[in-house]
Structure 1
Amino acid sequence: MKKIFTSVALMCAFLSAGAMACEKPASVCFQNNGGLPLIENGQPLPVLVSNAADPAIQRVAKVFAEDLQRVSGKSSQLLHNVKNVKQPVVLIGVLGKNPLVDGLIADNKLSVDDIAGQWEGYKVVVVKKPWPNVEQALVVVGSDRRGAIFGTLDISEQMGVSPWYWFADVPTQTQNNVYITAGAKSDQPKVRYRGIFINDEDPALKGWAQKKFGGVNSGMYERVFDLLLRLKGNYIWPAMWGKAFHVDDPKNTALADNMGIVMGTSHHEPMTRAHAEWHKKSENPAGGGAWNYETNRENINNFWRGGIERMMSKGDGTPYESLVTVGMRGDGDEPMSEGTAIELLEKVVEDQRKIIADATQKPASETPQVWALYKEVQDYYDQGMSVPDDITLLFADDNWGQVRRLPTKDIDREGGFGVYYHFDYVGVPRNYKWTNTIQIGKVWQQMDLSYQRGAKDLWVVNVGDLKPIEFPIDFFLTMAWDPEAIDKAALAKYAQDFAKQSFGAELASDIADLIERYGTYSAMRKPELINQDTFETGEVATPKLKGGEFYQHYNKWQALEADMEAVKEKVTEEQYSAFFQLVEWPIASMSNLYEMYFAAAWNKKLVDAIDVRANYFMDIVERNFARDAELTSQYHQINNGKWDGMINQVHMNYVSWNDPKQQTMPTVSKIYGGKNNIQVQFEPLSQADNVQVIAASDYVKASNNKGLTWTNIEHLGQSKAGVLALPQGQAATDVADKVYLSYSFEQPAYGKANITIELSPTLDTIGRGGVRLAIAVGDRPATILSYDLHATGGGQHTPEEKAWAKAVINNKQTLEAQFTDLPQGQHEIKLYRIDDNIVLEKLIIETIQTEKPKESFSLSEFFNSLFDSDDK
């Protein structure tokens, strides 16, 4: 039974959370410090917006009034004429497009020099005596329409309206008084386009949307767009598995534009066209034919022209705001040809640019465009294909969180660069769609590297069904707004801040700990890549069983679930729906899965040993399989069935990248004649005496040089912390630069040492031919070690692809070195930074005793020793 905390305790938690905000200008404060009362004695201020404002501004004014009501419990009046204003008010407008805002500037009551001309800049300021009979006003002014939207919704978030208030049912704490401190605050994004890709959405999101909204339609997208804007995102690739955003619902196109969303299409859907449209007679009257530019150019060009003409059909001479994908891939998201057809693709882009220029009646360079260098398309870039300078080049990760390539040339190109990242994927070596397996420390490391290397124009992340990946989505879009603000300290407290916003200050530390541990454990290996044979099981013993690696993983998850259950007792009824979605279900379902496979492994082992204890584990497997279905059902029933269908992803007993198609229980067997209610006890297997394990963060000395500093990043990788040299994006160093970490190990007897270095998997983003570091023991010369994970994402056939698959399956990469003729005693290991994008996690030292070589000597030395003796 959950413990119910009083509203007084919750209020204290929120007051504590807002105390520091009272010291910042133009910020929300829950204490009366002489600021502007936004809500006073439960009554919120009215919101003033022009009737002539852009629809996106009118909408956000209405939304903000609703947010004020969520916080205060009372309605906020929406005003459209300043003549009706006799009290303090909230004014929302765009610079140069709102007479009241421009009037305040002309009267020297408002300065906007810091945001004028900025992309999506905003300023929040308390203005004294803005108009006759009005003492003060809160003015939110944007350099453009989205700037005004982001400034407004930033206040909502500070008041306690979580961006996830709808998509995760995070409750809003009622406040009787809310103030805005005096002064001004301004901000603008560091990354131009920041968005998500809804993908792989069948059967889960599609099934849920069908029940909730009647389909993947404007009803659903209005909720998605609202979330995106509250997270300060501005861009989306819509769902595309057999879906066509602009066609499926006639309301979609105008909805996106009226909310201020920039529409795009995925990496293989050029010219605003969904690939599903190619097969629709209504959109492709010519009948389509082969998706082959060499043989069917005219039909394809006509199809693309229709997409750009639709973009221009807004009716006021301006386009629906879009970032147009150019280039071409093959049908069904496959390569366009077997080779690298640079000339053909250059012709494709040239023809697309002509269509854009003709349809818009403007130079093509005035329409924002992006070329996605996804999978084999990167080969075109690597081999020298060029596109016009105004096109944004979108690099990609390997679908598993490792960025493949980053800019090395044309750094200052007009269109700039971006990154397409993955939180979800369908493909080799295995689909991962079911649950959140993203560690935000990894996201931070890869996206910080990308930003430092110049990818600052577009960040888009594949979020699959959107739920249950709320936490990493929140992090990704927050970081995209200002990567420079997310330093080591901000990363370390991100889970705490997220938990505080969602559940209040009193529960923040406990819930943050659960979220962080879950992120580390789940990222270790995707659940679709786990079965009863995944880990070393242990040994059959009497009376106790000796548990191996599987036992360690099982124990971690059991302890995490137990800790979650303890925190759950402190959660209020109002908070429980959000707690279940964001904390309980992810932990309980993964813990249950590990227990099921752990039990299946031991059932198999004990059946082979004809040990009756096998029956005990058979019962566990059957119980866990049933519980998995129960947890899914509970998710679908939470909040009166609001999320029915959202977690319907197959996640058990995969045998290939996309098989099976339904849940199946692991195979178990029973030993007949034996009892099932036997008690089983475990003891862990002990580590070999000749093996020493050192966490990378447990270095004896860090030698910093060349402007680089070794830094421990907690919750990066599977050890105590990932260790890397910051800042990222710097040139290679060599051993002589002395950028190294020093470790100490014990050689128990004369012999050799085999040293394994475990690292987070990363890729050569420069195209040099591998990622390097150097190792030395004692005063011996350093040895260069390197690896090159060839991440095409296209299969596992070549040795390079197999090495990449192994690294992403295990979420680690290893390097090995051997040192011989080591005398007994303490020895120093030095690991030298050579290349960027190296993340150290652990060192494993296996010491082996060998026979010491006999010392040789000469006759002359023998006689000399005799003459030198005292009794000569």
Structure 2
Amino acid sequence: MSVIIQNPLPGIDKAMVIVGSDLRGTIYGLYDISEQAGVSPWWWWADVPVRTQDGVWALSPNATQKHEPRPQGRSEPTGPPASRGMQILKIQDTPSVRYRGFFLNDEQPALTNWINANYPQGKYGPGFNHYFHSRVFELLLRLRANYFWPAQWNSMFNVDDYANQPLADAYGIVMGTSHTEPMTRATKEWSTFGEQYGGNGQWEYDTNNASVDPFFKYGAQRAVPYVANTLFTMAMRGSGDTALSLTQAEAIALLGDVVTKQRKIFGEVFEARNVTEIPQMWCLYSEVQGYYEAGMKVPDDITLLWADDNFGNVRRLPLANETSRTGGAGVYYHVDYVGSPRDYKWINTIQLEKTVEQMQLASARQANRIWMLNVGDLKPLEIPINHSMDLAYNTPQWGYDSVPKWLELWATREFGPEYASNISSIMDTYGMLAARRKYENIDMTVYSVINYNEADAILAQWEQLAQEAQAIYDKLGEDWKPAYYEMILQPVLGGQVVNQIHIGAGKNAHYTEQKRNAANEIFQQVLDAFKMDHKLTQRYHNLLGGKWNHFLDQTHLGYDYWQQPMRNALPPMSYVQDLETSLAGNLGVGIEGSNATVSGDDNYHTLSSEVLTLPPMDPYGPQTRYVDIFARGVLGCNWNINASQPYVHLSQTSGVTGGSNGTDTRIYVSIDWPSAPPAPNSTIVTLLITSSCEGGQWGNYGPPSVLLPVNNTLVPSNFTNGFVESDRHIAIEADHTSYSTSVNEVSYITLPGLGRTNCGVTLSPVLAPTQNTTTGPVLLYNLYTFTPTPITNITLFISPSLNQNGRERTLKYAIAIDDEVPQIRQFVPSSVSTAIFPTGWAGAVVDGVWGQSSGNTTTTSHKAFKVAGAHTLKIWAIEPGVVFQKSEFLFCSFFILGGEGKRLPSNFLFCFVLFCFGGGR
């Protein structure tokens, strides 16, 4: 609390008094005043300038001044100094989460290399000393956090610098150790000093407990002066973040003995304290959750620290019968990770909306004693760190729709109000683009270069975002540019470059198959992007005289299994011989939706056939299709293209391709539907391509032609709200319901900005009981189909949530068409007691949804549409925590993000379609 008091002491007429319930509370009050005066928590770690003021004023309680929720806004950074009035009568409630902090982990190469360059080498390894940790502790307190797990790959917090532990205590930081380091002893302490305890030297309690016990005991003894600010990790795991080399039953029996012994040590070391009053936690990470669920129990005063799956999906939360434990529960959550199915540890790939959704669920389920965030190297994860700490401090304040507002307040504090709204939009969009598939999981085959214009649409989104981010950078004052580059511009430009590299490599492969000259141009563009990736890194490393040199040392290109590549590398690419002419002449023709090329032969169309067929067009599908005319030789050639029907429009009908002046041309085909044969009508339009080129324009092959199926379909006038089939395909964003129902105060809510393309839809409240298809709320989507079929695949794209409500309430949904009996599907398989993750999990976290990966059929249903016409899709979430993103009706798919639904002015909903023929990449 901060307040103005009259005559607080003799000789003082008026004073501003800051009062905390403890040391940390007072520090939070001081730093709150500092922040109101214009000092960002990131003033050192992200170089946000401290804005000078002409004066700082403590306003009386009756003064009128608007105060936004934290993060606090502050004055525009490029103007002259100004006076600042501060909010004085301010009372902070008890934080939502008692222990809030982060874990420095996966700290090689970036953080370790930076430490080695900036701090003296320690006796036993990198210099993670008290000078470094003082910077970390200040940041924690300025973020109103209080809990810390130190780096542990090659360091020992209490040994590398004997000032570390007393310094943490002086700052009021609660010290802990990671899930694999019990009793405040670092992993490296055993490998360095374990031999002094005798025994066989193995980290095995069943065979070497006589040595492990005194090792544990010293950790408690060392913490005696600091026990008020120590939270002990209990039990044990195998050496080096692995499971114990025992069966599950053996491990459970052994760990029961370990915890009993550890508690006995507390009684011996802390004689004046009740063991139940010593803060302790058991982290149910990885295989350890299986021990708990198989029956292992610890005393109720030990906090159960549930964990996510390393990808931001909480595996389990307290059940109703587990919420009365005196130790409570918490969550260990990742924004950085090393491990299967693949690392992600380069730059920020976190969608804040996902964090809100998962942590609001944790809060509602009373997992609010500890929130520990794995932050990797700390930089460059400033935004998700700040967001998570604010969410932990005041969880109710930051609801499902809060991310844009939070980002705007954050941007106001860091860069001033003038561009705060723009920055919020940029970083919110960035979160969706970066999280839809983490950079380390993108490769040349992920986004389709022939279907749906998907790859080009992805590149266009990144290009737009990069332009917006660069435009603000160009307007900022010079002092603010380093911070902006570190937290905003580099991530945006870096993300753009990675996508350019992989999509460019995919285009190179496609063009090489077509024997296009342009394969070589794309090769060079990818090489240029690869060099740009390095330049962006060097620019970051050279900021402010090299202050952050090494923080982008992390490799991120060239993954071929789960572990980081030892060096950045490009995907495989090819050159074509552009000094010679193709056997099929100097020109080639390709089309949307196919790898095939005419004239000539290839693996993608019938030999000796010079005809390609475009995906069909109808009034409810894509408004254009395309034909590519491209160079495959050494000469420039004139060409013409004409349609056999006047209602087919071509964006270009002639041109020159190849040679010194020619260019490859993409011709967009569209239909003048009012002039087309009236519905219902289906016809085939021929596009004729002619050319005159010296030496034979088509080599030894015939001239090419392209066929375009035109289907002028029509829905009845009484179908006014719904989705219309186009090319045997329908795609529906989850929030585009025709209508939905609410039952007993249980309803569906939209989670804005969550997911890969638009938003999520989920049940509310999250503590609702299990629903059923008879009385539960339902989502309804009106459809109109043209194709009677015995089997249609309906796939729901669902956020990769896990069975956090236990084995008795696994995540399920139900689906029905029209009045058929609903089919209930459990899309997250139940894990056997020894399994860490369910079947299909790896594909789900890589794709960002259940339902995308091949072989993962848990969200695909097979339904009959025996009669064309109007239908209704009905979807029920049987359990809270199911988050729908999109549904698709289709026979096959060659693109990752799914169809694009749009609402027509007449309130129709339709999708861009994928025609399933001719193969695809």
Post-superposition Cα deviations, 1:73-124, rounded to whole Å, max 9, x if no partner, equal xxxxxxxxxxxxxxxxxxxxxxxxxxxxxxxxxxxxxxxxxxxxxxxxxx11
| Mapped pair 1:774 → 2:814 | yes
For residue 163 of structure 1, give the secondary structure of its aligned residue in structure 2: coil
Seen in structure 2, the aligned counterparts of structure 1 residues 302 and 197 have a Cα distance that, compared at 3 Å, is: same
SS at match of 2:90: strand
2:269 equivalent in structure 1: 359
Displacement of 1:155: 2.0
State the alpha-carbon separation in 1 of the partners of residues 667 and 281 from structure 2.
56
Answer yes or no: is the 8 Å Cα contact 2:338–2:344 preserved in 1: yes
Contact 1:548–1:684 under 8 Å retained in 2: no
1:562 aligns with 2:602: no
Identify the residue that residue 702 of structure 2 maps to in structure 1: none
The alignment status of 1:200 with 2:111, answered yes or no, reads no
CA–CA distance in 1 between the matches of 2:669 and 2:315?
39
Deviation at 1:789, TM superposition (A): 4.7
CA distance in 2, matches of 1:793, 1:180: 59
Q: Secondary structure at the match of 1:667?
A: coil
The yes-or-no answer on 1:412 pairing with 2:450 is: no
Write the mapping of 1:559-598 to structure 2, written as runs, cut at 5 A. Answer: 559-598=464-503
Q: Which deviates more from structure 2 when the two are superposed, residues 753-762 or residues 259-268?
A: 753-762
Amino-acid identity (%): 37
- Tell whether the 8 Å contact from 1:278 to 1:288 is kept in structure 2 after alignment: no
Partner of 1:834: 878
Q: Structure 1 residues 549, 138: closer, same or farther in 2, change over 3 A?
A: same
Give the counterpart letter for 1:356 in structure 2.
F
Find the counterpart in structure 2 of residue 40 from structure 1: none
2:357–2:400 CA contact under 8 A, matched in 1 = no
For residue 701 of structure 1, what is the amino acid of its counterpart?
Answer: Y
Give the drift of 1:659: 4.5
Please report the RMSD computed on the Cα atoms of aligned residues, expressed in angstroms: 2.4
Measured in 2, the distance between the counterparts of 1:151 and 1:552 equals 48
Aligned residue number for residue 302 of structure 2: 391
Q: Shift of the alpha carbon at 1:283?
A: 8.7
Alignment of 1:117-196 (within 5 A): 123-183=1-61, 184-187=89-92, 188-196=94-102
SS in 1 for 2:548: coil
Deviation at 1:320, TM superposition (A): 5.9
Q: Distance in 1 between matches of 2:390 and 2:785?
A: 48
TM-score by length of 1: 0.78
Match of 1:500, SS?
helix
Find the residue that maps to 2:807 and give its secondary structure.
coil
8 Å contact kept, 2:764–2:880: no
Deviations 1:276-297 (A, max 9, x none): 0001238945377011101100
1:673 CA drift (Å): 3.2
The reply on whether 1:213 has 2:119 as its aligned counterpart is yes
Report Cα offsets for 1:145-177 as digits up to 9, x if no partner: 111111221222222211111111112322223
Give the secondary structure class of the aligned counterpart of 2:106: coil
Aligned pair in 2 of structure 1 residues 492, 795: CA closer, same or farther (>3 Å)? same
How many angstroms apart in 2 are the aligned matches of 1:769 and 1:651?
Answer: 38
Task: Tell whether 2:811 aligns with 1:755.
Answer: no
Distance in 2, Cα, partners of 1:179 & 1:434: 42
Q: Residues of 2 paired with 1:659 and 1:578: CA distance?
A: 28
TM-score (norm 2): 0.74
Partner of 1:813: 850
CA drift of 1:745 comes to: 1.6
Displacement of 1:816 in angstroms is 2.0
Contact 2:308 / 2:334 at 8 angstroms: preserved in 1? yes
Please give the alpha-carbon distance, in whole angstroms, between the structure 2 residues aligned to 1:770 and 1:551.
Answer: 39
Aligned to 1:725: 763
Instruction: Tell me how far apart the structure 1 counterparts of residues 831 and 169 of structure 2 sit (CA, whole Å).
Output: 37
| Aligned with residue 209 of structure 2, among 291, 297, 305 | 297
One of 638, 641, 647 as aligned partner of 2:552:
647
Tell me: CA distance 1:227–1:659, structure 2 relative to 1, closer, same or farther (3 Å). closer
Counterpart of 1:506 in structure 2: which amino acid? E
Query: Over residues 547-590 of structure 1, what are the superposed CA-to-partner deviations in whole Å (9 max), with x where a residue is unaligned?
Result: 74333322221221122222222222111001101111001011
Deviation at 1:809, TM superposition (A): 0.7
Q: Does 1:692 align with 2:692?
A: no
Residue 375 of structure 1, aligned match among 262, 272, 286: 286
- Secondary structure at 2:536's aligned position in 1? helix
SS of the residue 2:483 aligns to: helix
AA matched with 1:142: G
| Deviation, structure 1 residue 525 | 0.9
- Secondary structure, in 3 states, of the residue corresponding to 2:407? helix
Aligned letter for 1:485?
Q
* Distance in 1 of aligned mates of 2:669 and 2:237: 51
Q: Which runs of 5+ in 1 are unaligned?
A: 1-122, 539-545, 849-872
Between the aligned partners of 1:411 and 1:793, the Cα distance in structure 2 is 22
Task: Considering fraction of residues, name the structure with more helix.
Answer: 1
Which runs of structure 2 are paired with 1:853-864 in the superposition (5 Å)? Answer: none
* Aligned counterparts of 1:537 and 1:132: Cα–Cα separation in 2: 78
CA distance in 1, matches of 2:780, 2:20: 51
Q: Secondary structure, in 3 states, of the residue corresponding to 1:551?
A: helix
Which stretch of the first structure deviates more once superposed, 492-501 or 520-529? 492-501
CA contact (8 A) 2:287 2:835 kept: no
Higher mean Cα deviation, 829-838 or 681-690?
Answer: 681-690
SS in 1 for 2:375: strand
Structure 2 residue matching 1:737: 3-state secondary structure = coil
Output aligned runs, 1:425-824, within 5 Å: 425-538=337-450, 548-674=453-579, 689-751=727-789, 753-765=792-804, 766-768=806-808, 770-789=810-829, 801-814=838-851, 815-824=859-868
Give the conservation status (yes or no) of the 8 Å contact 2:449–2:507: yes
How far apart are 1:611 and its partner, in Å? 1.7
Is residue 199–residue 210 contact of structure 2 (8 Å, CA) maintained in 1?
no
What are structure 2's unaligned runs of at least 5 residues?
62-88, 121-126, 580-633, 635-657, 671-724, 852-858, 893-921
Q: CA deviation at 1:754?
A: 3.1
Determine if the alignment matches structure 1 residue 342 to structure 2 residue 284.
no
Q: How does 1:28-177 map to 2 (within 5 A)?
A: 123-177=1-55
Superposed displacement of residue 134, structure 1: 2.4
TM-superposed CA distance for 1:773, in Å, is 1.3
Is 1:825 aligned to 2:869, yes or no?
yes
How many positions carry a matched residue from both structures? 712
Contact 1:428 1:793 in 2 (8 A): no
Letter matched to residue 836 of structure 1: P
Offset at residue 835 of structure 1 (A): 0.4
